[in-house]
A and B are shown apart, each in its own frame.
Chain A
Amino acid sequence: MEFLTEGFAEAFRLVTSGDTRVLHAIWVTVLCTTTAVTLAALAAFPLGAWLGIHRRDGRGGWVFCMRVGMFTPTVVVGLLVFAVLSRRGPLGSLDLLYTQAAIVAGEFLLAFPLIVVLAHGATAALDRRVTETARTLGAGRFRTLLAVMNEARVGLVAAYLAGFARCLSELGVVMTVGGNLEMRTRTLASTISLEIRRGDFARGLACGLILLVLAVGTALLAHRLGKESRA
Chain B
Amino acid sequence: MAIDNTDAIIKVEHLTKSFGHTEVLKDVSLEVYRGEVVVLLGPSGSGKSTLLRCINMLEVPTSGKILFEGTDITKKSVNINKIREHLGMVFQNFNLFPHLTAKSNVMIAQRKVLKRSKEEAEKNAVKQLARVNLANRVDYYPSELSGGQQQRVAIARALAMDPHVMLFDEVTSALDPELVRGILDIMRELASEGMTMMIVTHELNFARDVADHIIFMEKGHIVERGAPEQIFNNPESERTKAFLGNIY
Task: State yes or no: do A and B come from one complex.
Answer: no
Binding site for A on B (CB under 8 A): none
